[in-house]
């Protein structure tokens, strides 16, 4: 008789949990998975996928304007928020169904209910208890609100996907990638957008040239970015919401969206009772193999607060299954992971920022180019692209690649292979360009910029 009901019980059916469950089942393990909301997790249900669909939708107003100088005459175009949301919901429902089907075809037992640890091997779910030899926590993270008076009147990205109508006046609180993305979404759909950030420049942690370039381009599009400014009080009025700001000014708006950070979904799960160590931010503490302080309990994805990206969670989930059930110990390399901000224009980067490269490697060479994309020479739009390479002076290895501009994520995804492999600047130079493209700039940069560089923004 088996000692436990399951070889593996996964709590959380997001990208990382689903991958881990399916791969473990492929190794012959008896696997169950629990999800209290919808299968697919943040990315599929209320994150990357629906966000990218809204980004696509918000681009059309500029596309229609640009089309005129390419000979197209477009009259009578109008936007219907409710139609967009309905179509988005249909696609999310389809993806939710696909994820369920994948689990079923892999032989993974799915229970759509909240699961809580009773002890290291026992899980309580849907009014009953089951046991498992190994437990995987993959519960993700959730957006947080601030504590100032009236903050509960605001929304987060979760609610933004389900607004009944498009607000005319929107304040986005935050300076990270989610804040910048939704500022572009609402602005592109015709709302008047103000973005507030407590720091000196948006996108903290990104290269300074990226941060400064994006801020300039977002302001060109009509987004009012106000730094060193936060909301201190929100009051509901007959006409919407009245905001008092830290600089003493006031704003009247229809919607406040908070994008000020996310917190691991670990509260009330029985982790402490099971002996699992969590950090000050409630993140599950794990080693390089995603193992917690309790040997049979593992954790992957945003609930560990290592590198909160969907592809990273998937990689961690796969590595966990390979390690535990495939008997192939696999640690995930969290260095030189490419990532993107689907702002307008988009941002994408891989590797070290200039500041980090100087701290780690000392002498570096910086190659940078700012130019008007070919498309906009005819559209007439005042939008610039910025590309940058950070190169170790001694070895000539390319340490980082950064881009703001059209198609940045598509370009950096491929360039990330070269950076990950340790390609040198000479190898970039030896690569023949594809012309005319923006991407060719990365292999035609020849002259480093002058030293010294400016002080980093905070």
Show which residues are catalytic.
435
At CB < 8 A and 24+ separation, what contacts does 179-182 make?
Answer: 179/257, 179/259, 179/260, 180/214, 180/218, 180/341, 180/343, 181/51, 181/55, 181/341, 181/342, 181/343, 182/51, 182/157, 182/257, 182/259
- Give yes or no for a contact between 342 and 310, defined as CB atoms under 8 angstroms apart: no
Q: Which residues contact 324 (CB under 8 A, 6 or more apart)?
A: 8, 24, 134, 298
DSSP 4-20: SSEEEEEE--SHHHHHH
The residue among 110, 105, 129 whose CA lies nearest residue 37 is 110
Q: Give the Å distances, CA to CA, from 291 to 276, 321, 328, 448.
A: 10, 12, 15, 44
Phi, psi of 28 (to 5 degrees): 100, 5
d(Cα 22, Cα 138) in Å, to the nearest integer?
Answer: 14
Computed over its alpha carbons, how large is the radius of gyration of the chain?
Answer: 24
| Residue written as token pair 């994820």 | 99
d(Cα 35, Cα 100) in Å, to the nearest integer?
Answer: 11
DSSP 398-430: EEEEEEESTTHHHHHHHHHHHHHHT-BHHHHHT
Please give the sequence-ordered ranges of beta strands (E in DSSP) within 246-397, or none if there are none.
250-253, 255-258, 262-264, 297-299, 339-341, 347-351, 364-371, 385-392
How many CB atoms sit inside 10 A of residue 294's CB?
A: 17
d(Cα 65, Cα 72) in Å, to the nearest integer?
Answer: 9
DSSP state of 306: S
End-to-end CA distance of the chain, in Å? 60
Q: CA angle 300-305-309, nearest 5°?
A: 75
């Amino acid at each position: 008789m088996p000692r436990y009901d399951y070889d593996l019980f996964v709590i959380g059916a997001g990208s990382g949990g689903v991958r881990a469950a399916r791969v473990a089942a492929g190794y012959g393990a008896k696997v169950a998975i629990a999800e209290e909301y919808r299968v697919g997790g943040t990315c599929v249900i209320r994150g990357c996928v629906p966000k990218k669909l809204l980004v696509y939708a918000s681009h059309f107003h500029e596309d229609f304007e640009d089309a005129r100088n390419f000979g197209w005459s477009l009259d009578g175009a109008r936007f219907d928020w409710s139609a967009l949301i309905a179509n988005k919901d249909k696609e999310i429902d389809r993806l939710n169904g696909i994820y369920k089907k994948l689990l079923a075809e892999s032989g993974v037992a799915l229970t759509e209910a909240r699961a809580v640890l009773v002890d290291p091997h026992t899980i309580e779910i849907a009014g009953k208890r089951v046991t498992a030899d190994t437990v995987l926590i993959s519960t993700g993270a959730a957006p947080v609100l601030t504590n100032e008076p009236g903050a509960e009147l605001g929304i987060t990205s979760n609610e933004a996907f389900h607004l009944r109508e498009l607000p005319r006046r929107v304040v986005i609180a935050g300076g990270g990638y989610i804040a910048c993305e939704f500022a572009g979404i609402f602005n592109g759909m015709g709302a008047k957008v103000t973005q507030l950030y407590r720091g000196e420049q948006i996108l903290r942690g990104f290269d300074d040239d990226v941060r400064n370039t994006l801020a300039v381009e977002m302001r060109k599009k009509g987004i009012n970015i106000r730094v060193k400014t936060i909301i201190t009080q929100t009051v509901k009025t007959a006409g919407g919401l009245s905001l008092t700001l830290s600089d003493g000014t006031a704003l009247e708006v229809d919607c406040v969206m908070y994008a000020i950070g996310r917190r691991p979904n670990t509260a009330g799960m029985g982790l402490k009772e099971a002996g699992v160590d969590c950090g000050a931010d409630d993140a599950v503490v794990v080693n390089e193999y995603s193992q917690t302080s309790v040997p049979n309990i593992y954790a992957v994805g945003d609930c560990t607060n290592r590198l909160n990206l969907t592809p990273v969670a998937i990689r961690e989930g796969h590595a966990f299954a390979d390690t535990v059930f495939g008997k192939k110990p696999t640690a995930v390399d969290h260095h030189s992971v490419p990532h993107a901000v689907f702002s307008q224009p988009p941002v994408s980067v891989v590797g070290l920022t200039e500041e980090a490269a100087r701290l780690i490697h000392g002498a570096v060479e910086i190659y940078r180019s700012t130019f008007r994309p070919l498309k906009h020479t005819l559209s007439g739009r005042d939008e610039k692209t910025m590309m940058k390479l950070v190169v170790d002076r001694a070895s000539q290895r390319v340490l980082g690649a950064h881009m703001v501009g059209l198609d940045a994520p598509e370009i950096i995804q491929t360039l990330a292979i070269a950076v990950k492999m340790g390609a040198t600047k000479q190898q970039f130079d030896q690569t023949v360009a594809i012309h005319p493209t923006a991407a060719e700039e990365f292999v035609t940069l020849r002259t480093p910029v002058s030293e010294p560089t400016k002080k980093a923004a905070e």
